[in-house]
Amino acid sequence: MPEVVPSLQRLLEAGTERLRRGGLSDPRRQALRLWSDLSGNGPAVPHEVPVEPEEAARFEGAISRRLDGEPLPHVTGWSGFRHLALRCDGRALIPRPETEGLVDLLLQRVSSGFVADVGTGSGCIALSLAMEGAFRRIVAIDRSSQALALARVNRELTGGGEAVDFVLGDLCAPLGRGKFDALISNPPYLTAAEYASLDGSVRDWEPALALVGGEDGLEVTARLLEQGSSVLRPGGWLAIEVDCSRAQVAAGRAGALGWEDVTIHTDLFGRERYLLARRSETR
């Protein structure tokens, strides 16, 4: 008996219903995203077209992975960030829309010269700067060799080219003194307790190394504030993403360490999310 080939419409309806019964939000959108990313075909494909059994099985398997709690970008293997489509998996933090605002803030102040991206993860910040700025060199650092392997894949996909160097190391240790016009970072900034209370869709799938910033959540941020001035040229800019509950504390520490023009900026949800500061021209 010949195998029944489902139409795309019936496949999407069945997938949507499974996601709905599983309690996932916006199940139709998620089903469409899964189909689009896995098949390479957009939702504009006529829904009456038949779907090959192999494609149907891959789609149904992806629905099952979502129902098991795996994040959507991990299931599809893709995540969007600003103007980029990036490979995404458990080796690095999933790029967040909030972090896009950090890139905007830095580009408003520095768009050329030399910049360091500390804790690059998937490479989303460094590769966005390479695409949107006119930087001579971007040094992107991470202490996870697995994250750097993913970032290098994304460099090839996006054509980041020779402007971006990916370097294994801890924070600013691999950087020369006084060479950089800007330093940007989305460091780990959760406390151990906050990490433990995260939803399983984050805690069970994304690397703790990219999330936990010590017992008080400020350990890595404090080290960046201490080390950053030594790698920036006089007048160079520092841009760091911070936890909204500790933004003012971080700003106070920056001021105490001699950073100038220290400001806190809000993200797209109105939360205090970004710390900007400038190295003194004289210190």
Rounded percentage of the chain residues whose pLDDT exceeds 70? 95
pLDDT at 7: 82
Question: Could you read off the pLDDT of 134-151 as tens digits, one per residue?
Answer: 999 999 999 999 999 999
Question: Could you read off the pLDDT of 47-81 as tens digits, one per residue?
Answer: 567 888 888 899 999 999 999 999 999 999 999 99
Is 244 in contact with 272 (CB distance < 8 Å)? yes
Question: Could you read off the pLDDT of 84-109 as tens digits, one per residue?
Answer: 999 999 999 999 999 999 999 999 99
User: If pLDDT is split at 50, 70 and 90, which confidence band does 38 have?
Assistant: confident
Mean of pLDDT values over 193-211: 93
Angle at 271 between CA 190 and CA 242, to 5 degrees: 35
- The answer, yes or no, to whether residue 43 has pLDDT greater than 70, is no
* Residue 268 neighbours by CB distance under 10 Å: 10
Task: Scan for tokens 């990036």, then name that residue.
Answer: 86
pLDDT at 118: 98
Question: Could you read off the pLDDT of 154-195 as tens digits, one per residue?
Answer: 999 998 777 999 999 999 999 988 899 999 999 999 999 999
pLDDT at 46: 52
pLDDT at 54: 87
pLDDT at 1: 34
pLDDT at 256: 96
Mean of pLDDT values over 233-243: 97
Question: Could you read off the pLDDT of 240-261 as tens digits, one per residue?
Answer: 999 999 999 999 999 999 999 9
Q: Does the global pTM surpass 0.75?
A: yes
User: If pLDDT is split at 50, 70 and 90, which confidence band does 41 have?
Assistant: low
- The answer, yes or no, to whether residue 215 has pLDDT greater than 80, is yes
User: Which domains are assigned to the chain?
Assistant: 8-68 (1.10.8), 91-278 (3.40.50.150)
Closest CA to 187 of 242, 125, 129, 263: 242
Tell me how far apart the alpha carbons of residues 231 and 227 are, in angstroms, rounded to a whole number.
7
Pairing of strands 78-81, 84-87: antiparallel
